[in-house]
């Protein structure tokens, strides 16, 4: 979201936990080059921490045996990698053609009013972040929303209200 050129330091060292470590070792055997692990390692990092820090980039580069610049390049190119912490609930609303035709804007407007967050923003209490994303491949059940990766189809303001009420 927004500025994707800067990495943030946490001031703490990063490493994979035991589960991610094992998954890294399983996956690395599947590729003839270690650099193919850049995207999978970024995913493992994001699964573990929710985002990708400067320390994580350095760790991945070291773990793979490549330049940190190559990991940084991939992390900034692929927009699903978060380079800063997101809200506890990261809401993605599809903005592309079919969702646009079926009035996704109503959902965006509702969220701005209800939780005070516009696309690209994180709520002050850190509970919500909102992102407008490109086509999510659910055009037949548009408009579609993802909350922390989970799909919600045929959305409207009423269903969005219910969805928000159901979050902890």
Residues in the site for another protein, rule: CB under 8 A? 27, 30-33, 35-40, 42-43, 66, 70, 73-74, 77-81, 95-98, 100-102, 133-142, 146, 149-151
**Going by C-beta distance under 8 Å and a sequence separation of 6 or more, which residues neighbour residue 92?**
130, 131, 132, 133, 136, 145, 146, 147
Structure tokens at 108: 């965006």
Q: How far is the CB of 37 from another protein (least distance, A)?
A: 7
- Which letter does DSSP use for residue 148 in this model? T
Q: How far is the CB of 100 from another protein (least distance, A)?
A: 5
Grouping H, G, I as helix, E, B as strand and the rest as coil, residue 22 is helix
Nearer to another protein, 14 or 100 (CB): 100
Nearer to another protein, 96 or 115 (CB): 96
Instruction: Write the CA distances from 12 to 18, 59, 159, integer angstroms.
Output: 18, 12, 40
Nearer to another protein, 77 or 168 (CB): 77
């Amino acid at each position: 979201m927004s500025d994707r050129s800067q990495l943030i330091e946490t001031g703490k060292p990063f490493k994979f936990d035991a589960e991610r470590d094992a998954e890294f070792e399983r996956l690395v055997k599947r590729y003839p080059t270690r650099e193919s692990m850049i995207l999978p390692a970024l995913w493992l990092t994001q699964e573990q921490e929710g985002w990708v820090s400067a320390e994580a980039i350095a760790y991945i580069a070291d773990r793979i045996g490549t330049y940190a610049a190559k990991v940084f390049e991939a992390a900034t190119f692929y927009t699903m990698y978060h380079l800063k912490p997101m809200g506890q609930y990261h809401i993605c609303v599809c903005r592309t053609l079919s969702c646009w035709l079926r009035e996704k804007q109503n959902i965006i407007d509702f969220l701005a009013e209800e939780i005070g967050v516009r696309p690209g923003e994180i709520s002050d209490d850190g509970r919500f972040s909102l992102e407008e994303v490109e086509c999510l491949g659910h055009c037949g059940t548009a408009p579609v929303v993802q909350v922390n990766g989970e799909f919600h189809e045929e959305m409207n303001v009423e269903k969005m209200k219910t969805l928000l009420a159901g979050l902890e």
